[in-house]
């Protein structure tokens, strides 16, 4: 099993940009998890990106999460090869170490996962390691990181490109309201579904990613200019 240090595990901690769409590995605070009492708690999204969204790419009503609790730091090959029931989250909050308890994974209403309550996102490699541990926990089969990276590449591209789309169209953070973010998510997903074959289908081939990124950037700039003209 692969290990990873906190410096490379997280993409963002503390303040997380609202422009990044909800994704596997995200950690949220203040979630009252059904079946786990009335106290707000930390949770980590463990659902695969495809399973948390519908065919149009929009968030489903329920998302699989795992409760996160304080835990001694997991270190060394023995520590990472063991502890298969958890995803270690070292230095998550205030220098304290935590872990997501995979054995207690459950479905949470997506409406409880507020972007303002998101306290951490994982790096791409951090996401692959989370996936590796989920597969190992449930099947006792170890999947290598390159395989996971290849299979995740299309949805990872989609997540990063949607963020770029939002930050291009809404270039003022003051405009990153829930309503505006939702509107741009719908617009981006509609763009992704366009084309013949659809751009989403084209993403399955790695060699298309650069051209599609350029095309997405062009479309986002055009949408920003159109919005500016409508306001003037």
- Which CATH number does the domain housing residue 61 bear? 2.30.30.110
Distance CA 107, CA 6 (A): 27
Q: What angle do CA 63, 67, 68 make, to 5 degrees?
A: 125
Q: Could you give the CA distance from residue 62 to residue 55 in angstroms, rounded to a whole number?
A: 15
pLDDT mean over 72-94: 94
Q: Are residues 39 and 112 in the same domain?
A: yes
Backbone phi and psi for residue 142, each to the nearest 5 degrees, phi listed first? -100, 120
Q: Which domain holds residue 213?
A: 149-231
Domain-ending residue, one of 108, 143, 178: 143
Cβ–Cβ under 8 Å, residues 34 and 106: yes
pLDDT tens readout for residues 11-23? 999 999 999 999 9
Q: Choose between 164 and 77: higher pLDDT.
A: 164
Residue 227 or residue 195, greater confidence: 195
* C-alpha–C-alpha distance, residues 176 and 76, integer Å: 41
Percent of the chain whose predicted confidence (pLDDT) is above 70: 99
Residue 208 lies in a domain: yes
Does the residue 1 lie in any domain? no
Other CB atoms within a 10 A radius of the CB of residue 35 amount to 8
153 in the same domain as 139: no
Indicate whether 156 and 133 sit together in one domain: no
- Per the listing, tokens 């997991």 go with 74
Are 132 and 52 part of one and the same domain? yes
The string of pLDDT tens digits covering residues 118-140 is: 999 999 999 999 999 999 999 99
Give the count of alpha carbons within 13 A of 46, CB side only.
29
pLDDT of residue 97: 98
| Inside any domain, residue 81 | yes
Number of folded domains that form the chain = 2
Q: In terms of domains, do 104 and 186 share one?
A: no
DSSP state, residue 77: H
pLDDT at 186: 93
Considering the domain architecture, whether residues 121 and 156 belong to the same structural domain is answered as no
pLDDT value at residue 17:
96
Cα–Cα dist 68/92, whole Å: 10
* DSSP per-residue string spanning 8-69: HHEEEESS--TTSPP-TT-EEEEE--TTS-SS-EEEEE-S-TTTTB-TTSPBPSEEEEEEEE
Q: Does the pLDDT of residue 169 top 70, yes or no? A: yes
Is 170 in the same domain as 76? no
**Percent of the chain surpassing pLDDT 90:** 89
> DSSP code of 117?
G
pLDDT of residue 231: 67
224, with CB counted inside 10 A (0-12, 13-18, 19+), is middle
118 in any annotated domain: yes
- For residue 232, what pLDDT is reported? 60
User: How many residues are given for the chain?
Assistant: 232
Regarding whether 73 and 54 lie in a shared domain, the answer is: yes
* pLDDT tens per residue across span 27-82: 999 999 988 999 999 999 999 998 998 877 778 999 999 999 999 999 888 999 98
End-of-domain residue from the set 143, 161, 183: 143
Same domain, 34 and 136: yes
Residues 184 and 98 in one domain: no
Predicted local distance difference test score (pLDDT) of residue 123:
98
Scan for tokens 């997903």, then name that residue.
189
Longest CA span, the chain = 62
> pLDDT digits over 178-219, tens only?
999 999 999 999 999 999 999 999 999 999 999 999 999 999
Task: Quote the pLDDT of residue 112.
Answer: 94
2: confidence class by pLDDT, cuts 50, 70, 90: very high
pLDDT at position 229 is 80
- Establish if 220 belongs to a structural domain: yes
User: Above 80 in pLDDT, residue 230?
Assistant: no
């Amino acid at each position: 099993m692969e290990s990873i240090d906190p410096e490379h595990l997280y993409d963002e901690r503390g303040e997380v940009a609202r422009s990044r769409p909800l994704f596997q590995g995200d950690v949220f605070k203040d979630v009252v998890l059904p079946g786990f009492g009335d106290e707000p708690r930390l949770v980590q999204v463990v659902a695969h990106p495809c399973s948390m969204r519908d065919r149009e790419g929009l968030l489903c009503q329920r998302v699989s999460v795992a409760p996160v609790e304080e835990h001694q730091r997991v270190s060394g090959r023995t520590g990472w090869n063991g502890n298969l029931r958890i995803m270690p989250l070292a230095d998550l909050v205030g220098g304290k170490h935590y872990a997501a308890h995979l054995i207690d994974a459950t479905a949470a209403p997506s409406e409880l996962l507020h972007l303002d309550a998101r306290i951490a996102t994982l790096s791409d490699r951090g996401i692959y390691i989370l996936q590796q541990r989920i597969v190992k926990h449930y099947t006792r089969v170890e999947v290598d990181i390159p395989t996971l990276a290849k299979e995740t590449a299309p949805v990872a591209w989609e997540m990063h490109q949607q963020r770029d789309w939002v930050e291009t169209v809404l270039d003022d953070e003051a405009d990153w309201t829930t309503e505006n973010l939702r509107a741009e998510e719908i617009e981006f997903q509609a763009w992704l579904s366009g084309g013949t074959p659809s751009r989403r289908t084209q993403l399955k081939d790695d060699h298309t990613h650069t051209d599609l990124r350029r095309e997405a950037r062009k479309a986002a700039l055009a949408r920003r200019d159109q919005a500016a003209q409508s306001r003037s």
